[in-house]
Amino acid sequence: MLKKKSKYIVAIVGATGAVGREMVSILEERKFPVSELVLLASDRSEGERIEFDGKNRSVKKLVNDSFHGVDIALFSAGSEQSLKYAPLAVAAGAVVIDNSSAFRMDDKVPLVVPEINAHALDKHTGIVANPSSSTIGLLMALKPIHEAVKVKRVVVTTFQSVSGTGKDAIDELAGQTVALLNFKDIEVKVYPHQIAFNCLPHIDGFLENGYTKEEMNMANETRKVMEDDTIRLTCTTVRVPVFRCHAESVNIETEKELSANEARAILAKMPGVLVYDDPSRSIYPLHLDVSGKDEIYVGRVRADDTVKNGLNIWIVIDNIRKGAALNAVQIAERLLP
Ligand code: A2P
């Protein structure tokens, strides 16, 4: 529980990563009341300098007592680090906002998209979780439709950029692309196959049911954030050779009828959603255009006439911003007393 102060000591765990760096700039952009920023990463980055508020700050190695005096700890260093260090941060008196999948389905941990279920924050006991970036993108569009006509079933296919895996994957896509265009051999380290000029229907490990963890996470996280166990969701998650943003092709079946025009009007009213939909002028959300944006972009809204009340939409989210860093900072803002 945060005590009222004029400014807070904020730690970023994974400060040198793709999401961690974005957290630093979003805290600055949104003028979050920071008295001291503690930048934490592995010993590989110890001493690296990151600019915040006009000053260069030194990255420190994450250790057990890194959280002494910290009020808010934003974690984005992977599940293993979250499982080990988040409880230590809470014991030291910090509120943790975790971007990993470590605690998302833990009953004691609220899973929050502030525009959708900020009320769940009232019940936190020290840790709050960010949903996965594709789930955030999906739910920002699904929530207002669900409220209007009740969503029964959803079929999602994602087109996820390599930044969702982290900075090593960004380097791998760049390195493979340069190597291939120069007729050189490529290195394949991060993914099981070449990612340059290729699409991989494989994100995170496979489960016994044939789905990947990422796919089951989207189904489970959707029901938790929407607080509705009746929503059926099936999905295929695909890694594409794009640096930033995730796109999602979404087929939605609803209980009551909703025309494409009505859906556009409902989506346009949702805070944080931008309807970008004029196919006659080739206007629809693109990975490149949404990069760096706070809003979820929705386009290609059209009726699916093959089912009773069906709708197809295309969503693009900046996975590093609203899909991770921005959502975490928005949660922190909501937690301020
Ligand atoms: P480092 O840069 O020192 O490896 P990304 O998701 O973009 O790959 O970033 C992962 C972030 O998590 C980086 O800041 C990385 O730090 C950090 N990290 C990874 N492993 C550890 C660890 N064992 N202890 C602390 N930070 C870690």
Give the fold, CATH level 3, of 135-319: Dihydrodipicolinate Reductase; domain 2 (3.30.360)
pLDDT at 164 over 90: yes
CA 290 to ligand 1 center in whole angstroms: 26
**pLDDT, tens digit (0-9, with 9 covering 90-100), for 7-45:** 999 999 999 999 999 999 999 999 999 999 999 999 999
The residue whose CA has the least distance to atom 16 of ligand 1 is: 41
CA 156 to ligand 1 center in whole angstroms: 30
Q: From the alpha carbon of 20, which atom of ligand 1 is closest? A: 14
Average pLDDT over residues 102-115: 98
Give the fold, CATH level 3, of 8-130+324-335: Rossmann fold (3.40.50)
Tokens of 263: 């859906």
Q: From the alpha carbon of 167, which atom of ligand 1 is closest? A: 7
Domain residue ranges in the chain: 8-130+324-335, 135-319
CA 215 to ligand 1 center in whole angstroms: 24
Count Cα atoms within 13 angstroms, Cβ side, for 257. 3
CB of 58 within 8 A of CB of 52? no
Q: From the alpha carbon of 169, which atom of ligand 1 is closest? A: 8
CB of 12 within 8 A of CB of 23? yes
pTM for the structure as a whole: 0.97
pLDDT at 1 over 90: no
The residue whose CA has the least distance to atom 6 of ligand 1 is: 166
In the chain, the percentage of residues whose pLDDT exceeds 70 is 100
For the chain, the distance separating the N- and C-terminal CA atoms, rounded to the nearest angstrom, is 9
CA 53 to ligand 1 center in whole angstroms: 22
